[in-house]
Amino acid sequence: MLSDEIRSMEILGYLAATLIGISLGLIGGGGSILTVPVLVYLFGIDVTLSTSYSLFIIGTTSLVGAYRNYRKGQVSIRTALLFGISSIATVYISRKFLLPVVPDVLFNIGDFHVTRSFATMTLFAALMLFASLSMIKSNDSPAEPSKSHHGARFLSNLLFAGIGVGLVTGLLGAGGGFLLIPVLVLLFRMPMKEAVGTSLLIIALNSLFGFAGDMGNVTPDWKLLLTLTAIAISGILAGGMLSNRIDGKRLKKSFGWFVLIMAVYILIKETLLR
């Protein structure tokens, strides 16, 4: 009976991996924030190891998506590389040097132990709430293309935005697409399609360098990791083909509601059901 339940959870996990890839292909983000919860709750993998797995799955999948968008002329290589200067360094440093020294128990509140696992999943839930509300309430009017991608202000904005996204990617194992898309569209006034492609390249660079920072600290189950990655890649390829046929605005809001439900579930599980 227990083995059947475990098998059912794994099947749900594989289906979720497909959804993660489809989301990345359609809206350039959103799916990555589900990867760690899927690995933790559906595959029973340790939270810290799940963040490492997530970086590889999301990084490899996003790289495939970025290449497809690059062939369509929908990737700003310059923006991605400038953004990556700060974000990649932040991801690598946080994964290589910061995470290994974070204690299992961060602090105590009376008899309640605030563990690293609890803090990670709670932060995930908080970010998922933010991301879901952003997708649900997003402004449907397109951004005006940026008139200037030069100057000190542009570079400083890229620097600080890169550090912020790098911290999220490094500490939580999320690709950061749910933050990148609003940043690229609203802050840098990038057209949506170009923002999606550029976001995928930034996610790929951040995630894969973050995973490289984990090498030596973790021993992955490569069979499971490559299986999930292959499924997610099939999802992103399907998402890319569907992107011209599905109303992206409606899909984004629907996915936002799904992420909101997942965030509430995580909060309930981590607080009331502990």
pLDDT of residue 229: 95
Q: Which residue shows structure tokens 């803090």?
A: 119
pLDDT of residue 47: 84
Distance linking the first and last C-alpha atoms of the chain: 23
pLDDT of residue 75: 92
Q: The tokens of 234 are what?
A: 């099939």
> Alpha-carbon distance 195 to 145, whole Å?
11
Q: pTM of whole model > 0.85?
A: no
DSSP, collapsed to helix, strand or coil, labels residue 189 as coil
58, 207 contact by CB (below 8 A): yes
Task: Band the pLDDT of 142: cuts 50, 70, 90.
Answer: very low
pLDDT of residue 31: 66
Q: Which residue shows structure tokens 């974070």?
A: 102
Percent of the chain surpassing pLDDT 90: 12
> Alpha-carbon distance 65 to 58, whole Å?
10
pLDDT digits (tens, 9 = 90+) for 65-123: 899 889 989 899 988 888 888 888 888 888 878 877 888 888 888 777 888 888 888 88
Can you say whether the dihedral through the CA atoms of 13, 19, 24, 29 is positive or negative? negative
Is residue 204 pLDDT above 80, yes or no? yes
pLDDT of residue 67: 92
Task: Band the pLDDT of 227: cuts 50, 70, 90.
Answer: very high
pLDDT digits (tens, 9 = 90+) for 93-106: 888 788 778 888 88
